[in-house]
Structure 1
Amino acid sequence: MEGDDRREKGHLSDRRFDSLGSVLDPRLLSSIPFEFMSVVQAATLEHSLSGVDVLAQAKTGTGKTLAFLLPCVQRISTMLPLVSRSPSDISVLILSPTRELALQIEKEAVVLLRGFQGAIGVQHCVGGTNMETEKRALRSSRADILVATPGRLIDHLQNSGLAPQLRNVRALVLDEADRMLDMGFRRELQTILAALPSRQERPRQSLLFSATIPQGIRDVADLDENHVFVNTLRPEEQNTHQHVPQDFIIVPHTQTFAATLCILLESLSQDPKTTKPILFFSTARSTAIFFVLLETLQKQLSGVHSANLQRLSPAWQALQTVPVFELHSRKSQSQRVRATQAFTKSQTAILCSSDVTARGVDFPGVTSVIQVGLPSSGEQYIHRLGRTARAGAAGSGVLILTPYERFFLRKKEVAGLPLRERKLVFTEDDLLPEADSAIRKALMTVSDKEKSQAYQAALGYYKSSLKDLGWSPAQLVDEMNDWARQALLFQEGASGPAPPLLAKTVGKMGLKGTPGLNVVKQLPSWADDGAGDSPNDRGDVYQHLSTVRQRGSPYGRGAKVVANGRGGGAGRGARDSVVRATQSSS
């Protein structure tokens, strides 16, 4: 169960669960797989079991799921004669911001319900699954506890006739409530509340668990004015972003992927057996591309003769075998569940992720958080950083920005953080040009379709930050076109047309009439039918690395390699100008 295994010793209290023997159903008590309560459980259970509303501030990974499931199951157990006559009624509604967290909650509920032998049932309604299957299950099987994401629940309320099954809800739980607000679910939460019977008509308990308490959070759960507020955060947890070592690196956008690979290799060279970073990217498409690059590098390295492999640095050798996973909205639910479980269990691994894991899912042992590109907000930067240095463990953060993204460092949530600028300087093995060479070689195996999709996603993402960037729409298009050609090597970096976009897509983006766009009436076959998605020619990264080593660094042995500036490309100077060599004494 989340937060209660022995790795969370820093969050265990000295209170035992058997001390609740007088208030918990024996079947429920016997199903609790732990002896001692966590701090958040000890602080909240007395209140929540008494029936009062509770607002609890607690970190993910500290046992909060069990803290709200126990009182909910206990409440249902006292209603069993009534519940058995209304098998389709939902007694407890639990809302979660993400599919992963919802399924995690459901899994823990199943453990607690095993002593009731089917008398109490739990189901989920989450995006990425078949609505008709969920609809049939909700009508044919017990759903005393329903765990749902807001968007999917709204779908069922509007299209599946679910509302009557909510007429007897006796408990409402909002887990990671602040994240639901961050993700723009306020309107959905209000719609869901409106679908529930009034508290005067049908008294119910509200339990709200959140890592932070932003303004208006009490309203979304309809908390009673006499609710109890419990804060279980330790001082160091309330300010994780103030004490975790954090660096930022400014590189031209042509070298963002190379810089990311450099940081990974550096981490692997320090401790290949326990390195466990999460890499956050701005869009799902960029996440997928970097995952493909790592996967390609691993395949190429696995084909290298063992004698030749030994000539590579320990970091490259470690990269060959470290597990790599991807998590983003473009993956199916089953794929996301498998990746989540595998990364959780791994002692050393790399996770490429969009913001679906920025909060809500607890991964043990994350050694660092690497944020690649512009975060959506200062608050999101902080939440991502919170995936490391958990439960008193060590951790670190690296933020990789381009020169035009540097404005992010001036945001009020970020300006006061202990972020230190760091140069990509590797005097030992000239790692930056080596990584750049490997990335560019691997990019040749990524289809232009995938690159076009990443380009479209980037256009939409940066369009929302035009004011901060100081760009006009035309400048946005110019920068993203250059990024597609020179960073993604779209059509091998040629200076021809930008990736194609349908006119309706351009219209939805609000970029109609913007010069520089390649607007087409119909996408070419390679961008529309999946052609080129699985190229056979994966190249030979070892040969490429060997060439770099044999000819020596183009910057001279012992030179200090510093990445900064805008970067070059077609029409902007030679590619090598993106890396400036200075004398070792500089």
Structure 2
Amino acid sequence: MDRAGGAAGPGQDPVRSFERWKKKYGKRQARLQLQRKQRKRPEWQQEREGIARLQQRYAQINANEVERFSDFPLSKKTLKGLQESQYRMVTEIQRQTIGLALQGRDVLGAAKTGSGKTLAFIIPALENLYRQQWTATDGLGILIISPTRELAYQTFEVLRKVGKNHDFSAGLIIGGKDLKQESNRIHQINILICTPGRLLQHMDETSYFYASNLQMLILDEADRILDMGFADTMNAIIENLPKKRQTLLFSATQTKSVKDLARLSLKDPEYVWVHEKAKFSTPGTLDQNYVVCLLPQKINMLYSFLRSHLNKKSIVFFASCKEVQYLFRVFCRLRPGVPILALHGKQQQMKRMEVYNDFVRKKSAVLFATDIAARGLDFPAVNWVIQFDCPEDANTYIHRVGRTARYKEGGEALLILLPSEEKGMVQQLSQRRVPINETKINPEKLVDVQKKVQAFLAQDQELKERAQRCFVSYLRSIYLMKNKEIFDVFMLPLAEYALSLP
């Protein structure tokens, strides 16, 4: 009789003998595999043990030793998402915040625009739900409130990339869409990113919107939320949220209203002041200059600048929507040799996102924008920020120039000031530790486009009406400015300015 693995006996077919052995061997292997599987711990149990090991490491986090995201005790799913999205090295706000947030502490974070704070709260949010093995049936676990639709959309995109290996559902509730359509899916969302007004509307009108299970509240750019007049809305929202939760609040500036909101929403918070140690309030890699220019010469100045920076990506900030609308049309006709785009508050939400994506895709382009684009929007690889109109104050200046020199990259900023604005604005910037130098206009390089613009207006009645609206809108914006030492509408050469539009 042949034995498994032995030689075939005399008179037996060796092939058949091998086939019998192979069959027995296969059955035995299958039996052993089944036994091993039965002895093996279930997957959920292994995951639970892995989570417990991560939590044990939380207390040992030393922010000073962290250089990469992999130095934090994070789940494999989050680390994989970070790696696939090309996020490896941490920024200062991420280094200081993530460890505290993982330990369950409330955090009040102050960081310059472009410091990478989005990941500083996205990572702890994902880890919070992962630790608890959160499922769709558990409902809303994380609430992220952003000041604008654009910033909410960008936060959602970062979450989608970094969190794609997790099983949580995420939603964007920002208005501009059908309320009923949002209401139908709001109860299925685990991580909700929203603007304050739309969120309060759902709290008031959507009967099955529940936040009773909320684990974490994140307030992004809280100073901007309050600047936009949402203080009462935020108070009403916070009253509707469970008291037992973790809260992370981020703000580029620390005003009295931000501190009031912090007192209302945070419990015994850890303060993270990333730019307190910095010598300047703007990134060290940002080269900042200002130029004094007469009001009627500003259009010539901007055209000449764009003509000499054709292979660059620039954002130009204006005081009003009507200015952007008019000058966008004028510059498209002047054809400076670089694509011109416009972003302002009068556009529909879909149009704004279309313009934003178009600008991001282009290698060189100029974006004419109002301050709606100054906060939170992440424009990669912007070389220049030009402030065509003087900002309201130093804080607005800092937020505008924050569109360039992001994440330790280089960038340049140019502020165009009228003679009447120079003294007061430069003084304010100096007080806020903004290093800015004066540069002079070279008259030989200034191209005069006045006659061309006059010709456009003579041919186009609609453009002429837009020029008039632009004139009135600019004067109104100056008149409404609070700081009369810098902004005095009666100091402006109005007749010459009217001719320059013309």
Match of 2:101?
Answer: 48
Whole-angstrom distance in 1 between the partners of 2:420 and 2:95 = 48
Quick one: distance in 2 between partners of 1:246 and 1:35? 32
Structure 2 letter corresponding to 1:436? Q
- Separation in 2 of the partners of 1:376 and 1:472? 12
1:178 Cα deviation from its structure 2 partner: 2.7
Q: Go from structure 1 to structure 2 and tell me whether the alpha carbon gap of 1:472 and 1:336 turns closer, same or farther (over 3 Å shift).
A: closer
Equivalent position to 1:247, from 290, 295, 298: 290
Match of 1:370 among 378, 386, 394: 386
**Which residue does the alignment assign to 2:278?**
235
The yes-or-no answer on 1:440 pairing with 2:454 is yes
Work out whether 1:341 is the aligned partner of 2:344.
no
Residue identity matched to 2:189: A
Deviation at 1:205, TM superposition (A): 0.5
Q: Distance in 2 between matches of 1:401 and 1:348?
A: 26
SS of 1:38's equivalent in the other structure is: coil
The yes-or-no answer on 1:256 pairing with 2:288 is: no
The one-letter code of the counterpart of 2:219 is: L
Contact 2:313 2:383 in 1 (8 A): yes
Match of 1:205 in 2: 246
Q: Is the 8 A contact 1:121 1:144 kept in 2?
A: yes
Per-residue CA deviations over 1:342-367 (Å, capped at 9, x if unaligned) read 32333322111100121212323322
Q: Do the aligned partners of 1:55 and 1:208 also contact (CA within 8 Å) in 2?
A: yes
Equivalent pair of 1:242/1:418 in contact (CA under 8 Å): no
Q: Residue in 1 aligned with 2:33?
A: none
Q: Which of 310, 331, 339 is the equivalent residue of 1:294?
A: 331
What is the Cα deviation at residue 280 of structure 1?
0.3
Contact map agreement 1:466 1:472 (CA 8 A) in 2: no
RMSD: 3.4
Residue equivalent to 1:185: 230
Instruction: Report the CA distance shift for 1:136/1:487 in structure 2 as closer, same or farther (over 3 A).
Output: farther
Q: Supply the distance in 2 between the matched residues of 1:439 and 1:147 (Cα, whole angstroms).
A: 44
Partners of 1:451 and 1:484 within 8 A in 2: no
C-alpha offsets along residues 475-507 of structure 1, whole Å, 9 cap, x if unaligned?
Answer: 69x977x58842433xxxxxxxxxxxxxxxxxx
TM-score (norm 1): 0.65
Secondary structure, aligned partner of 1:398: strand
How far 1:387 moved relative to its partner? Answer: 2.4
1:456 is displaced (CA, Å) by 4.9
Change (3 A) 1:238 1:471: closer
1:133 paired with 2:181, answer yes
Per-residue Cα deviation, 1:257-284 (whole angstroms, up to 9, x for no partner): 2222122223x2xxx33x2221000011
Which residue number corresponds to residue 538 of structure 1? none
- Contact 1:241 1:382 survives alignment (8 Å): no
Helix, strand or coil for the counterpart of 1:196? coil
Deviating above 6 A after TM superposition, structure 1's stretches of 4 or more consecutive aligned residues are 469-473
Q: 1:392 to 1:115 in 2, by over 3 A?
A: closer
Give the superposition deviation at 1:218. Answer: 4.0
Letter in 2 for 1:175: D
Q: 1:440 to 1:261 in 2, by over 3 A?
A: farther
Counterpart of 1:97?
147
* Distance change (3 Å), C-alpha of 1:255 and 1:241: farther
Q: Secondary structure at 1:432's aligned position in 2?
A: coil
**1:36 maps onto 2:73 in alignment:** no
User: How far, CA to CA, are the matches of 1:177 and 1:467 in structure 2?
Assistant: 23
Q: Which amino acid aligns with 2:306?
A: L
Query: Aligned match of 2:480 in 449, 453, 464?
Result: 464
Alpha-carbon displacement from aligned partner over 1:314-359 (angstroms, at most 9, x marks no partner): xxxxx32x22221111122222212222323333221111001212
Q: Residue by residue, what CA displacement relative to the aligned partner does 1:66-91 show, whole Å, maximum 9, x if unpaired?
A: 2211221222234446x5435xx422
CA contact (8 A) 1:241 1:386 kept: no
User: Identical aligned pairs, as a percentage?
Assistant: 28
Superposed, 1:368-517 pairs within 5 Å as 368-403=384-419, 405-406=421-422, 408-409=424-425, 412-413=428-429, 418-427=435-444, 431-433=446-448, 435-444=449-458, 445=460, 447-465=463-481, 468=484, 482=495, 485-489=498-502
Deviates more, 1:173-182 or 1:275-284: 173-182
Instruction: Report the Cα offset of residue 153 of structure 1.
Output: 2.2
- 5+ residue gaps, structure 2, are 1-63
Structure 1 residues 422 and 146: CA distance shift in structure 2, 3 A:
same
How many residues align structurally?
A: 431
Specify whether residues 346 and 191 from structure 1 end up closer, same or farther in structure 2 by C-alpha distance, changes over 3 A only. same
Cα distance, 1:379–1:291 mapped onto 2, change above 3 Å: same
Deviations 1:498-519 (A, max 9, x none): xxxxxxxxxxxxxxxxxxxxxx
1:283 and 1:176 mapped to 2: Cα distance?
A: 22
2:367 pairs with one of 338, 351, 370: 351
C-alpha separation between the residues in 2 aligned to 1:35 and 1:457? 43
CA contact 1:101–1:361 (8 Å) conserved in 2? yes
CA distance in 2, matches of 1:35, 1:292: 39
1:106 to 150, 153, 156: 156
Contact 2:374/2:403 (<8 A) preserved = yes
Q: 2:451 is paired with a residue of what secondary structure?
A: helix
1:288 Cα deviation (Å)? 1.8
CA distance in 1, matches of 2:488, 2:141: 52
Residue 332, structure 1, aligned to residue 348, structure 2: yes
Q: What residue identity is the alignment partner of 2:137?
A: R
SS in 2 for 1:293: helix
Cα deviation digits, residues 359-397 of structure 1 (max 9, x gap): 212323322221112322232122212323334444333
Task: Summarize the Cα distance change of 1:67–1:466 in structure 2 as closer, same or farther, 3 Å threshold.
Answer: closer
The 1:209–1:417 alpha-carbon spacing in structure 2 relative to 1, beyond 3 Å, is closer
Q: Answer yes or no: is the 8 Å Cα contact 1:94–1:147 preserved in 2.
A: yes
Aligned position for 1:73: 126
Select the residue among 153, 165, 170 that pairs with 2:210: 165
> 5 Å matches for 1:517-536?
none
Distance, in Å, in 1 between the alignment partners of 2:487 and 2:100 is: 53
State the Cα distance separating 1:159 from its structure 2 match.
4.1
**Counterpart residue number, 1:143:** 189
1:217 maps to 258
Conserved 8 A contact 1:250-1:406: no
